Chains A and B, each alone.
Chain A
Amino acid sequence: MVQVKVNGQQRTFDGDPEMPLLWYLRDILGLTGTKFGCGMALCGACTVLENGKAIRSCQKQMGTIEGLNITTIEAISTNGPHPVQKAWAEVNVPQCGYCQPGQIMQAVSLLSAKPQPTDQDIDDVMSGNICRCGTYQRIRSAIKQAAKETA
């Protein structure tokens, strides 16, 4: 039996302890905003926040998450869109959009650690998130815009 907090709600899980958090979120809780892309922490589509810091949910086994505080894309916009989501819309970042929840969660994590990131900071942190449509240049400007707005 594992206790975990997801989007502020206390949950218990007693299934296969090897199940990655990703599939718990998607299949058991129905929180499908967190995406499956590679299952190997190579693409970042499954990015969620653990105590405010980005992690790859496909690598976090349920047996190891006792007591953690997890936030998914569904919970960052409770009082209107998050500044990062707002910037994403203003820059019109998404094409297909599938990777964008992961990109946004990674950007939220980046900005909480470095509120005014340099280009190099952005490249270093965001290069773990793949966008096959190729929206990187817009992601970079949206992060800068969000940084400006929250400054």
Chain B
Amino acid sequence: MISAETISADKFVVENVSRRGFLQGVLSASAFVLCVGKIPLLASAARIGAPSEAADATAAIGASAFHPSLFVGIHSDGAVYIVAHRSEMGNGVRTSLPRILADELDADWTRVTVVQGDGDGAYGSQDTDGSHSVREFFDTLREAGATARLMLVRAAAQKWGIPESQCVADPVHSVTDLSAKRKLSYGDLAPLAAKLPVPRKEELKLKSPQDWRYIGKPAPGYDVAEVCSGKPLFGMDVRVEGMLYAAIAHPPVLGGKVKSLDDSATLKVIGVKKTIPIDPFKPPHAFQPLGGIAVIADNTFAAFKGRKNLKIEWDNGANASYNSSAYKKELQQSSRQPGKVVHTTGDPDSEFAKAGKIVEAEYFAPHLAHASMEPPVAVADVQGEKVIVWSPTQDPQGVQEEVAKALGLKKENVTCHVTFLGGGFGRKSKPDYAVEAALLSQKTGKPVKVIWSREDDIKFDYYHSVAAMYLKASLDDAGRPKAWLQRSVFPPIGSTFDKDAVYAGDGEMSMGWNVIPFDVPNFRSENGQAVAHVRIGWLRSVANIYHAFAVQSFANELAHAANRDPYDYLLTLLGSPRTLDVGKQGPPGTNEKYPYDIARLRHVAELAAEKSNWGKKKFGKGAGMGIAVHRSFFTYVATVVEVEVDDQGVVRIPHVTTVLDAGIVANPEMVRQQFEGAAVFGTSLTRTGEITATNGAVDQSNFYDYQVARMNDAPKQVDIHIVESTAPPAGAGEPGVPPFAPALCNAIFAATGKRVRELPLTRNGFS
């Protein structure tokens, strides 16, 4: 008999689902299992088509078609299982998230097994992007852990026949009777706790921060040993019995179609089975496959070789007119004209009309490709009405949805197993490649693995947007800006979902553009229109990249114009501690939870100056340091970059100092890694990152013409300082990226007197 023993943790529901046969083979019948979901499990059972009658619902829940994605289970032997329902791509979620729950549970971390959750809508968004994981699930995970702990305590009290107040979850993984000094292990208590009702939320007692065992304490990655021994963890490593391999010749231009095909040479390649056409998408392209010709083979090499031997004539369509050099001029032209007003404070036009020193500057940043080390890959096995997909995906529910749509099936019939991701950076939340695998599996009647080559990855990405920015300020006698105008023009992400979208969405404008953290009485931000000719998508920190580049470079230019030290001037610009009115930052409650606190931004800047010896360190010819600050994903970051530039313009980065305030940090070790990595990611995009197109086709193809930072050009030493904070957790994966490019370019200006207004550095005679 199932009783819906539930509590509501905000929008989430905790249920006691012991003895319902979850993950048979992992958990035994007597295990104590709590499930945390967005929809009560009973509703989920109904949703997947089971009758609402209790016994049938039990059967439905126990069936392999349904897996809870966020749960904690405790075996009678004391083994604890925690599901990671977010995707692991180097962001550390398989370590950081379960440790939050384990902390409130007072579980022994060495006895925790992490289980990767499949895609399932019952658990809210699993889309692992936007630096959401810890900040969105911190409270829920704590409450789930505290719920399980309280139930174990109650089980002990019941067993001993003593009041609950006499029992305490201590030492780790056990409950102690305070009066008699006897104790019971979690394993012993699990079968009893499994029979208890779930306590109400008001009954929970969350631990005080000083009692945290794991939260805020550095811990290495849960999977390090497996990763270092080459275990088959990644999407690229998936092998299914009877699987075929596919490589796809995509139309070189977005929206292109096959005009004619000669596959005779392809079919002669050893191991090639056949070719299969994939239909072009219907606009907007969204997450649909690009279309083209798939080569089906019995190994990857044969598929690649067969593809090389295809003779295809393409009808390139309207986007064949896209040329990056002409497009750049268009964007720059339109950035000089009035655009759509995004935000106004005071009256900048009147101020500009008065006498004052006017400073103007234009900035430009090109398209970027994600270039995760593991190119897109997916395996799909279509069996009648059901589909199983194995994919390195940031968005397993997106995979379910898109595969279902493409195959005309129900979303519930698509199972998505989430593998490890060999990098994601936003690319792998677009499931087009998984849809390709599913379509081909349907057509061949066999499991099919679709493998993108590096060339596919670079040429057919959802590109980070190209952007032109125009900035203008009027300075008073002291060199302080009285008026500030900024205009950005770029093809928006919205164009991926609406072919007519030409203006930026609110999200893109909120990324460092609608308002700036500077104390300027008269301000206006604008956005101009731009038509997209390639697929536009989000890439690690998104519009913050070009917006921070423009704003933080311009701040440095104003410091120079005012003849002031860039750091001192930056503090002047930031002004006195206050809450910045940023407009709506997210769902209701977000602004209250995450006010834009200028004091915190000032603090990271001050600490970065201190830690980097700003103003004290002496530099020789061709060397110098630059600073930039930026808040994104509610995290405050200041970065100081030291640079050495030789006579040939070769740029070396001996040292980077990054200070961040991300509120409460779940695992400082993971946060450090993210910010160390962000400096390298920032180096790549600043030095060499550039995607261009000629006649609609992307020019770059592999790591020789789309270069990313290697050990010898990455920063030699990156020091990360984490500000201790009791504020709610904020983002960690992305906010390290935006301040890097302006800090490096400001350093180059200090070192050489050359101002970089266009990325990458290779466009400016540097390398």
A residues contacting B by CB (< 8 A) are 15-16, 18-20, 23, 26-28, 30-40, 42-43, 45, 72-74, 77, 81, 85, 88-89, 92-101, 104, 122-124, 126-140
Tell yes or no: B201 within 8 A of A by CB.
no
Q: Are A132 and B229 in contact (CB under 8 A)?
A: no
Give, as a whole number of angstroms, the nearest-CB distance from B129 to chain A.
14
Which B residues are in CB contact (< 8 Å) with A99? 373, 422
In the complex, what residues of B have CB within 8 A of residue A42's CB? 702-704
Known: A19-B301, A39-B304, A130-B708. 5 other contacts (CB 8 A): A35-B422, A39-B453, A81-B225, A93-B224, A129-B710
A26 to B669, CA, bound (A): 33
Q: B221's contact among A15, A72, A94, by CB below 8 Å, is which?
A: A94
Cβ of B377 to closest chain A Cβ, rounded Å: 9
**Chain B residues with CB under 8 A of A39:** 304, 453-454, 702
Q: Are B300 and A26 in contact (CB under 8 A)?
A: yes
Q: What's the tally of chain B residues with a CB closer than 8 Å to chain A?
A: 70
A134 and B676 contact, CB distance less than 8 A: yes
Most buried by A among B90, B305, B451, B704: B90
- The answer on a CB contact under 8 Å between B270 and A16 is yes
Are B373 and A98 neighbours in the complex by a CB distance under 8 Å? Answer: yes
Q: Is A33 in contact with B230, judged by CB distance below 8 angstroms?
A: yes
Question: In the complex the two chains form, is A100's CB within 8 Å of B708's CB?
Answer: no
| Chain B contact residues, CB within 8 Å of chain A | 88-92, 220-221, 223-225, 227-234, 236-237, 239, 245, 269-271, 299-302, 304-305, 371-375, 420-425, 451, 453-454, 669, 673-674, 676-681, 683-684, 702-704, 708-718
Contact of B373 among A16, A35, A74, A93 (CB under 8 A): A35
A23 touches B680 (CB 8 A): no
Q: Which residue of B lies closest to A95 (CB)?
A: B90
A-B pair count, CB < 8 Å, reads 197
- B215, chain A: closest CB distance, angstroms: 18
Which A residues lie within 8 Å of B223 (CB)? 94, 97
Q: Is the CB of A72 within 8 A of B230?
A: yes
Instruction: Given A94-B224, A97-B233, A132-B371, decide whether A40 and B704 contact each other with a Cβ distance below 8 A.
Output: yes
Closest 6 CB pairs of A and B: A33-B230, A134-B680, A98-B422, A95-B90, A96-B90, A73-B230
What are 22 A-B contacts defined by CB distance under 8 Å?
A: A32-B232, A32-B237, A35-B373, A35-B374, A36-B451, A39-B454, A40-B702, A85-B228, A92-B224, A92-B669, A93-B224, A94-B224, A94-B228, A95-B90, A95-B677, A126-B711, A127-B713, A130-B373, A132-B423, A132-B708, A134-B709, A135-B673
* Smallest Cβ-Cβ distance to B91: which chain A residue: A95
Q: Which of A38, A73, A126, A135 contacts B229 (CB 8 A)?
A: A73
Question: Is there an interface contact between A32 and B236, defined as CB atoms closer than 8 Å?
Answer: yes
Looking across the interface, which residue of chain B has its beta carbon closest to that of A120? B712
In the complex, what residue of chain B is closest to A90 when comparing beta carbons? B220
Cross-interface CB contact of A43 among B304, B424, B703, B715, cutoff 8 Å: B703
A53 CB, nearest partner CB in chain B, Å: 19
**Residue from the list A38, A129, A137 in contact with B454, Cβ < 8 A:** A38
Known A-B contacts A45-B373, A98-B374; the reply to A134 vs B300 at CB < 8 A is: no
With contacts A38-B454, A98-B422 taken as known, whether A134 is within 8 angstroms of B714 at the C-beta atoms is: yes
* Chain A residues touching B, majority SS: loop
Once A101-B230, A135-B676 are accepted as A-B contacts, the answer to whether A30 and B374 lie under 8 Å apart by CB is no
Q: By the criterion CB–CB under 8 Å, are A96 and B421 in contact?
A: yes
A20 CB contacts on chain B under 8 angstroms: 301
A127 near B710 with CB under 8 A, answer yes
* Residues in A whose Cβ lies below 8 Å from that of B710: 127-130, 136
| Contact, CB under 8 Å: A133 / B423 | yes
Residues of B within 8 A of A140 (CB): 711
Report if A139-B711 is in contact (Cβ < 8 Å); known contacts: A40-B454, A98-B423: yes
Question: How many Å lie between the Cα of A93 and that of B374 in the bound state?
Answer: 18
Cα distance A114–B301 when bound, in Å? Answer: 35
Known: A95-B677, A96-B90, A123-B711. A137 touches B229 (CB 8 A): no
Bound state CA distance, A110 and B257, in angstroms? 48
* Contact in complex: A38, B236 (CB < 8 Å): no
B703 — which chain A residues lie within 8 A by C-beta?
38, 40, 42-43, 130
Bound complex: CA A34 to CA B230 (Å): 7
Interchain CB contact (< 8 A) of B220 among A27, A36, A92: A92
Please tell me if the beta carbons of B305 and A16 are within 8 angstroms of each other in the complex: yes
Q: How far is B300's CA from A85's CA once the two chains are assembled, in angstroms?
A: 29
Contact across chains for A89 and B89 when beta carbons are under 8 A apart = no
B714's partner among A37, A40, A122, A136 (CB-CB below 8 A) is: A136
Residue of B with least CB distance to A75:
B230
| Residue contact B228 to A36, C-beta cutoff 8 Å | no
A33→B373 contact, CB < 8 A: no
Which residues in B have their C-beta under 8 angstroms from that of A128? 710
In contact, B236 and A134 (Cβ under 8 angstroms): no
**Residues from chain A with Cβ under 8 Å of B421 in the complex:** 96
Docked complex Cα distance between A131 and B234 (Å) = 16
A18 to B676, CA, bound (A): 40
Distance between Cα atoms of A74 and B304 in the complex (Å) = 26
Which residue of A is nearest B224, CB measured?
A: A89
A137 is contacted by which of B220, B372, B375, B716 (Cβ under 8 Å)?
B716
Interchain CB contact under 8 A, B711 and A136: yes
CB distance from A99 to the nearest CB of B (A): 5
CB distance from A73 to the nearest CB of B (A): 3
CA A133 – CA B422 in complex, angstroms?
Answer: 9
Q: Looking across the interface, which residue of chain A has its beta carbon closest to that of B703?
A: A42
Quick one: which of A18, A28, A98 has the most chain B CB within 10 A?
A98
Docked-complex contact B711 and A96, CB < 8 angstroms: no
Q: How far is the CA of A99 from the CA of B270 in the complex (A)?
A: 30
Given the known interface contacts A16-B302, A132-B373, the answer about A94 and B227 at a Cβ–Cβ threshold of 8 Å is: yes
A100 to B702, CA, bound (A): 20
With a CB–CB cut-off of 8 A, which chain B residues contact A43? Answer: 373, 454, 703
Residues of A within 8 A of B237 (CB): 32
Closest CB of chain A to B544's CB: distance in Å? Answer: 18
Report chain A residues within 8 Å CB of B221.
Answer: 92, 94
Residue of chain B at shortest CB distance from A22:
B301
**In the complex, which residues of chain B have a beta carbon less than 8 angstroms from the beta carbon of A45?**
373
In the assembly, what is the distance between CA of A34 and CA of B231, in Å?
A: 10
Partner of A134, one of B372, B374, B424, B681: B681
Neighbouring A residues of B718 by C-beta, 8 Å:
137
Given the contacts A39-B454, A72-B230, A104-B228, A132 and B372 also touching, CB distance less than 8 Å: yes
A38 and chain B: residue at smallest CB distance: B454
Give the CA-CA distance A34 to B454 in the complex, in Å: 16
Contacting pair B230 A74 (CB below 8 A): yes
A18 surroundings in chain B (CB, below 8 A):
301, 305
* A111 CB to nearest chain B CB (Å): 15
Please give, as numbers and ranges, the residues of chain A lying within 8 Å of B716 by CB-CB distance. Answer: 137
Residue of chain B at shortest CB distance from A122: B711
User: Judging by beta carbons under 8 Å apart, are A134 and B270 in contact?
Assistant: no
Q: Across the interface, name the chain A residue whose C-beta is closest to B372.
A: A132
B301 touches A27 (CB 8 A): yes
Give bound CA distance, A86 to B451, whole Å.
32
* Residue in A93, A95, A98, A104 whose beta carbon sits within 8 Å of that of B234 in the complex: A98
